[in-house]
Amino acid sequence: MKTASELQRLLFSINRKGYPAYKDTKGSYQFDNYVLSIDHVQGDPFASPSKVSIHVSGTSAGFPKHLFDKYHKRIALQDHLTRLFYQKIEKYNFKAKGSGKSGLLSVSRCGQEILERTSCRIDFPDGSVIMRMEVGFPAIGRTIQSAELVKILFDFLPDCITSTLYFQALNKKDLEAVAALAEDQQYIREKLPEMGLAAFVANGSILPRESGISSLPMKQAVPFVSPKSLEVSLQLPHHGTITGMGIRKGVTLIIGGGYHGKSTLLKSLELGVYPHIAGDGREYVITDDTAFKLRSEDGRSIKKTDISMFIQNLPNKRDTTAFYTEDASGSTSQAANVVEAIESGTSLFLIDEDTSATNFMIRDELMQRVVHREQEPITPFIERVKELYEKFGISSIMVAGSSGSYFHVADCILQMDRYVPMEITDIAKKEAAAFPLISSPTLPSYAPDFSRQPKSNPSMGAGKRIKQKTLGKDGISLNHETIDLRYLEQLADQEQTTALSYMITYAEMHLFNEKKNLREIVETLYTMVHQKGLTSVVPGSYLPSNLALPRKQEIFACFNRYRGLKL
């Protein structure tokens, strides 16, 4: 390993040379209390920035083991350090001058959710810290300005590193609070199944967000207060007693007038699959972490999915046990989404009437009288929702604003009134008795067939070059194929989308071989990532700093929306 002095001499020796001379800096350099590794050097100042990582030994970093001795605490501490490092480097961003991306300093910009990311890693048990970032190596045109890079590497970065990556430099109470919150959140999550709950929303939570484009809590919002009939209390390890609304397993219906908070509550539950940072307002909104948001997706492709639970006896005699289409209707897409979510291992469906296909959710009395059951190939969700819970153990939480038919099948009915929930189950059931459903008994369904085994794609096999591009949270581009992810509403960060692009590429190259079904492939990927880290799915010699771990549910959903999937 070379020394920091050698790096400095090298930089001065290549000053004003052509940009390719920066390639000579690649390697690891020992600074006083850390190692700086230049992992990849950009081709020119207008290309993607260079990849740099900082390695601090456990002895130097000095973080006590109790801050990262469990997975959830380690992820929380990594998240906290990434936020601190981001705040610090922002004041130096583009302070070094030059063309294009010269002087850029970049690390993951974390949102309100706490995610496992490649930007920061703390190893257990030794406590060593790795921070990965991007740096724009300065140049004027394509002429190296190494004095500006010396500023970055020898003035700016040392200040950022010493003030954020060492235990002695940080606020000890803040660090303890991060670990305590992580333990409390995990405690609630583990208690949900024991208490027969699908979700928990603490009293005092702030659910509304600042705006449609901001995930910060709304100022002066109405704090959440649980109805007394649904109130539960837990004794948390650090916070002490906490009280809030426990949403029981089964079928829960959320109703109310427009703008009264129905969708706001559901949105909080959607993202309650992730832990949130202190001050978010949803720190203690905890949802079954396998929960899946269902909706219709007109135009999506469906690849040999068994939708016979909901659609049978099509006029054209098409097989619905292995249904295929490149352009699904709203009802067909939602039926496929349900089955694929079951395949992913979900225990909870989250559904908003506004984003659902009406004919998939319900058939009103008049329509049933005019179009008889034997003429309708769709079995609506209302006729399966109880069976999904009783037979498959999958609960449902649904928002409805216009259809009262679900009163008949709901176990619990909540009405939102000016953002305050009230339980009205008994009243609603009494009113519903005057409007009986006329549906004929539905034949019981069979467990869907999940035997689909993807084949290898000759154009994307081992040794082939696959061009990847992340389209924000909206999608992924693989060569000429775009995977539309716009309707995966539980993707919290575009770094999760980037990780999905690497995962599907890895699967194409190594796992799609007609030997494993999708469940086995996703399980293989997830086990590998947890054992070896997110970077285990990344080819090449350097590791990206911009990946965040998606859930199994989003991995399945990504694969199922991949039109290039060979089955």
Q: What is the structure's pLDDT at 203?
A: 98
Distance CA 36, CA 54 (A): 5
Whether residue 369 has pLDDT greater than 90: no
Q: Which domain holds residue 151?
A: 2-170
Please report, for residues 376, 442, 527, 541, the alpha-carbon distance to residue 445 in angstroms, rounded to integers and kept in the order given. Answer: 17, 9, 32, 50
Residue 458 contacts by C-beta under 8 Å, 6 or more apart in sequence?
none
Q: To the nearest whole number, what is the mean pLDDT of the chain?
A: 94
- Cβ count within 10 A of residue 250: 18
Distance CA 315, CA 344 (A): 30
Q: pLDDT per residue over 263-305, tens digit each?
A: 999 999 999 999 999 999 999 999 999 999 999 999 999 999 9
Same domain, 359 and 414: yes
Whether residue 462 has pLDDT greater than 70: no
Tell me the average pLDDT across 244-258: 97
Q: pLDDT per residue over 505-544, tens digit each?
A: 999 989 999 899 999 999 999 999 988 889 899 987 778 9
As for how many domains the chain has, the answer is 3
What proportion of the chain, given as a percentage, has pLDDT over 90?
84
Q: Is residue 42 assigned to a domain? A: yes
Same domain, 350 and 383: yes
Same domain, 389 and 478: no
Structure tokens at 154: 């020898």
Same domain, 22 and 128: yes
Tell me the average pLDDT across 373-396: 91
Q: Is residue 565 assigned to a domain? A: no
Task: Provide the pLDDT confidence category of residue 333 given band limits of 50, 70 and 90.
Answer: very high
Give the residue from 423, 186, 177, 417 showing the smallest Cα distance to 284. Answer: 186
**Full 3-state SS string of 109-123:** CCCCECCCECCEEEC
Q: Is residue 507 assigned to a domain? A: yes
Given a contact cutoff of 8 angstroms between Cβ atoms, the answer to whether 509 and 311 are in contact is no
Same domain, 312 and 429: yes
Q: Last residue of a domain, which of 117, 137, 170?
A: 170
Q: What is the structure's pLDDT at 410?
A: 97
Whether residue 162 has pLDDT greater than 80: yes
Distance CA 362, CA 155 (A): 65
Q: What is the structure's pLDDT at 440?
A: 59
Distance CA 346, CA 340 (A): 9
Residue with tokens 């690390």: 107
Same domain, 394 and 488: no
Same domain, 440 and 536: no
Q: Is residue 387 assigned to a domain? A: yes
401 vs 146: which has the higher pLDDT: 146
Q: Last residue of a domain, which of 450, 469, 494?
A: 450
Same domain, 162 and 299: no
Q: What is the CATH number of the domain that holds 244?
A: 3.40.50.300
CA torsion through residues 178, 180, 182, 188, sign: negative
Q: Is residue 137 assigned to a domain? A: yes
Tell me the average pLDDT across 135-152: 96
Given a contact cutoff of 8 angstroms between Cβ atoms, the answer to whether 21 and 144 are in contact is yes
Q: pLDDT per residue over 470-499, tens digit each?
A: 999 999 999 889 999 999 999 999 999 999
DSSP for 125-160, please give it. TT--EEEEEEE---EETTEE-HHHHHHIIIIIHHHH
Give, rounded to a whole angstrom, the gap between the first and last alpha carbons of the chain. 49
Q: Is residue 566 assigned to a domain? A: no
Return the top range by mean pLDDT from 255-259, 441-445, 467-471, 489-493: 489-493
Q: Is residue 136 assigned to a domain? A: yes
Whether residue 461 has pLDDT greater than 80: no
* Per-residue exposure over 10-19, b if at least 16 CB sit within 10 Å of its own CB, e if not: bbeebeeeeb
Whether residue 388 has pLDDT greater than 90: yes
Same domain, 424 and 476: no
Q: Last residue of a domain, which of 137, 170, 203?
A: 170
Tell me the average pLDDT across 96-103: 95
Q: Is residue 339 assigned to a domain? A: yes
Q: What is the structure's pLDDT at 15?
A: 96
Whether residue 500 has pLDDT greater than 80: yes
Distance CA 562, CA 483 (A): 5
Whether residue 548 has pLDDT greater than 70: yes
Q: What is the structure's pLDDT at 208?
A: 96
Q: What interhelical angle do 71-90 and 157-164 show, nearest 10?
A: 140
According to DSSP, residue 261 is labeled S
Task: Provide the pLDDT confidence category of residue 363 given band limits of 50, 70 and 90.
Answer: confident
Same domain, 206 and 328: yes
Structure tokens at 492: 């919290």
Same domain, 205 and 287: yes
Same domain, 406 and 539: no
